[in-house]
Structures are given as C-alpha cells and as structure tokens.
Amino acid sequence: MDLTQLTAHELSDLLASREAGAVELVKAFFARIDQVEEDVKAFNIFTRDRALEQASKVDDKLARGEELGPLEGIPMAFKDNMCTKGVPTTCSSKILKSFVPPYSATVVEQLAQAGSIMLGKLNMDEFAMGSSTENSAFAKTCNPWDLERVPGGSSGGAVASVSADEVAFALGSDTGGSIRQPAAFCGVVGLKPTYGYVSRFGLIAFASSLDQIGPLTKDVTDCALVMNAIAGHDPKDSTSAPVDKPDFTKSLINDVKGLRIGIPREYFGAGIDPEVDKVIRQAITKLEELGAVVEECSMPHTEYAMPTYYLIAPAECSSNLARYDGVSYGYRAPESGDIVSMFKKSRAEGFGPEVKRRIMLGTYALSSGYYDAYYLKALKVRTLIKQDFDQAFEKFDILLSPTAPTPAFKFGEKSANPLAMYLSDICTVPVNLAGIPAISIPCGFAGGLPVGLHLMGKAFDEGTLLRVSYTFEQNTEFHKVKPSLGVK
C-alpha cells in the first residue's frame, strides 16, 4: 500500500487503527517528495524537521491510547501566501523572498490546532496573480499529468502537490479562480468557500474583497473535513461572517434526487474546448440519471465579469501591494541614494511583470478623474452580476459549468498574451465577484488531461455543493485516476 496515495480520511483511519504512525506518514510523504519533486517543483520550502517533531508528538498521543482528531497527524502544506510564524512566506516574489512572518495566519493556527502536519510552503503565481504559476519568481511548477503543461494558477504548487501525492491535502487561495482552475487542470477537488466563511487574517492580500482561502483535497470527504477545521468567524477579520459553522460532513449525502441544477448558457460560449464541452455534458447527463432536475438558464451580465474583475482586483492590489517599499522588511534595492529612488528601485526590481501590470491598471482605475468611469462603474456592475446569481438561485439549488474552458495548456502558450491567460478564468471569476461558494471536482478527461466540473452555490450553502459533489464522486471513478508521474 502506498500511503501517499490515500486520502486524509483514509490516513486518519490508519492512524486510528494503529496501522500507521504519524512519523511514518511524514517519512512516506517526504520519500514521495524526494521521488517526484524534481519534476513537479510544487514547493518553495520544506519544513521537514518541524514536521517530524510534530509527528512524533502525535505518535506519543497514539502510544498513550488517546484519540486523534480527523486531521491530526495528516501531512499537508500551505500556499506560500499564508503567513507561517518563523517560516519564510514569500508569495513567490523576489520582494518577499527574505520575509519571515512573526505571526501565523488564522488558518495556519486552526490546522495546527487540528494537529495537521505542515510539510512546507507551496509555489504560486507571484502574489496570486496568474493562471499558470508561470509568474512565480522562483520556479515553474509542472502539471503532474503532463510535465510540459502548466498546473494552472495561481495555487499551482498547492494543486500539483496534492495531485502528485506529495501531501494529503493543501490550502490554496482563490481571488478569481485560483483554487478551482488549477484543481480542474490537475484533477483534484478544490473549494472556494463563501466570502467571509474562512478567515483571511494572515493571508497576504491580493484583492481583499475577492480573496478567500479554501481546501485542495483528493476527494469530497476530505474537503468537508478541512472545511470543518478552517471555517467560522474570526474576530481578527472584520469581513469574516458572524455565522455558526455546520458540520460539513453532514452534507456528504449520496443523493441528488429532485435537486434543481441550472446550466447558465453564457458559461458555454465561444472559446470552450469541444472535448471539455463533451465531458461536461456527460457529467450533466450523469447527474440527471442520479435524479437531479437540470435546466438551462441565462446569466445576462456574465460577459461583464472579466472587465469588472480586472478593474476591482487590480485597484485593490495597487493599494494592498503599496506596502512593499523596502522600508522595514522585504527586498530593498541597494545603493538607492534617496528615499524616492529606494521606493522606485526596490519595487521595480522586486516585482515581476504581471504584478507590475496589475498595479498600474489599478492605479490608473483609481486615479482622480477616472474613478467614476472605472472603479465606481465596476462596483455597480458587480452588483448586477450578484443580482444575476440571486435571480438564478430563486429557481435553482446550484449552477453548473465547466471550471475552465480548456484543459491544462502548455508552458508559454499563453504567457505572452495576458488577455488569453485572463480568459482561462472566465467561468470562475463571476463567483468571486458575487462572493458565493463554488467547487471544482474531477469529472473526466479531455485528451488525457483532467477536466473539472464547476458547481456554484448560494452564499453559505457549501452543504449543497458538497452533497452534489459527493453524489457525483460516489457514482464515478474519475477522482481515483492518478497521474502516471513517478510510476516510471
């Protein structure tokens, strides 16, 4: 039995039955990492010693006959934009290469509390800006299904690590699709929770009103377990919703009979790969067979989602990233002379081209004389997009679309054309603008590459998403197919 191929809940069962120990798990995953990481390049840094130390404490607990929590002793990793006290947190940017946070993000604390074991920090597009992880200042993470292809982004390292069995699960962040699009590209389960459900405290901000942390897992059950650990109100995050969190595993019900699923036709427009379209249609048929009621619908403002997103996200980013100036932490350009040159040179040398592009877009959109025409207009359109969803949810329990219009593309295929790259998030971006939850689950293959099924739900109704996902998963085998990587 290869331990690393198992899901978190399967590993947890092994620990509970004393068939495996926590140190054994950590060693197994590091062995796997040693085997495949050279090809995948998912990690920015490893925390091996720390992990072994934590694992031996879990083993002590086991030896004392104590019961473990559902994620206790389970090896995992964080996208490198979540602050980890004493462990470098870089956002895969030169400007934060030397940054070691003196505090931990709430999610990091929560998982430490749950007893999960961090193996390291995961590569990403610089500051979570990108859809291929090619914008990392450090390395290009490869898609475990085809090393010539991107893993998607911006949580590319996180999904690749899960897909390549380097960890049992990971946490990613999603501003416009950064959990779901790579989850689709690498064939894993990725949930972007409702805005405000998971604390953003300690998540290095890209666009504050859109960012949300979520789980990347090998199956839907693990997704529910991780949500149980990380969802809930955090007094340190004023935008975190003051709601009680349910037990998400209660939604793992294998039944969708009578559930109403809307298929917004705007999500199947030009640019969708015919094979992806076919796979999604098959998934729809499958859900119908399982008893769901499926109907096509329209979300008329969908076409404005991309321009709206590319005003709001860069505007917020231009302000959020202003703090990287070389004054008290991070990269400072040497020999700058005066303060203004220090600011300019540190930022010019510290940020990559995509980050600069977005800072400039956002600065422009917020400038006096342009604010009303761009930023304010975008806020108004955002409300219209939200209303599209509100109306659709009067009729449907969930909405369904492909996660991405194409399967994983090749390195360099879109990096020269930012607009083409942006369009790979066309199905995921409206969800962030509306603040609702959405999940991507494996639903088939196109040309041998995984395809993701995108399910969108009502705010704080992750339960229905999990239920539909679980039902689909229980009645298909796609999530069990592993990339051939490392099985040379």
Write the DSSP symbol of residue 408: P
**96 or 456, CB closer to other proteins?**
96
**242 or 274, CB closer to other proteins?**
242
* Burial call 313-327: b when 16+ CB within 10 Å, e when fewer: bbbbbbbbbeebbbe
**135 or 469, CB closer to other proteins?**
135
Closest approach, Cβ 237 to other proteins, in A, equals 5
Residue numbers annotated as active site = 79, 154, 178
Chain position carrying tokens 């959109």: 365
**242 or 258, CB closer to other proteins?**
242
- Reduced to 3 states (helix: H, G, I; strand: E, B; else coil), residue 173 is strand
**81 or 440, CB closer to other proteins?**
81
Closest approach, Cβ 212 to other proteins, in A, equals 13
Q: 402: phi > 0 → left, psi -120 to 50 → alpha, else beta; which?
A: beta
How far is Cα 348 from Cα 332, in angstroms, rounded to an integer? 10
**319 or 387, CB closer to other proteins?**
319
User: Cα 124 to the chain's mean position, in Å?
Assistant: 10
Closest approach, Cβ 89 to other proteins, in A, equals 7
Closest approach, Cβ 175 to other proteins, in A, equals 12
Phi, psi for residue 310 in degrees, rounded to 5: -80, 5
Instruction: Kindly state the tokens that stand for 181.
Output: 């699009």
Closest approach, Cβ 202 to other proteins, in A, equals 4
How far is Cα 175 from Cα 341, in angstroms, rounded to an integer? 32
Distances in Å between the alpha carbon of 136 and those of 40, 111, 155?
14, 26, 11
Q: Which residue from 360, 152, 186, 128 is spatially nearest to 140, judged by alpha carbons?
A: 152
How far is Cα 130 from Cα 173, in angstroms, rounded to an integer? 12
Chain position carrying tokens 């934060």: 96
Distances in Å between the alpha carbon of 161 and those of 122, 317, 353, 395?
8, 27, 26, 38
Q: Which residue from 25, 33, 40, 188 is spatially nearest to 117, judged by alpha carbons?
A: 25
Closest approach, Cβ 346 to other proteins, in A, equals 11
How far is Cα 216 from Cα 223, in angstroms, rounded to an integer? 7
Task: Please give the angle made by the CA atoms of 82, 407 and 378, to the nearest 5 degrees.
Answer: 60
**340 or 419, CB closer to other proteins?**
340
Contact positions toward other proteins, by CB under 8 A?
Answer: 81-83, 89, 91, 96, 99, 101-103, 105, 200-205, 207-209, 235-239, 315-316, 318-319, 322-323, 325, 327-329, 338-339, 343, 363, 366-368, 371, 375
Closest approach, Cβ 246 to other proteins, in A, equals 23
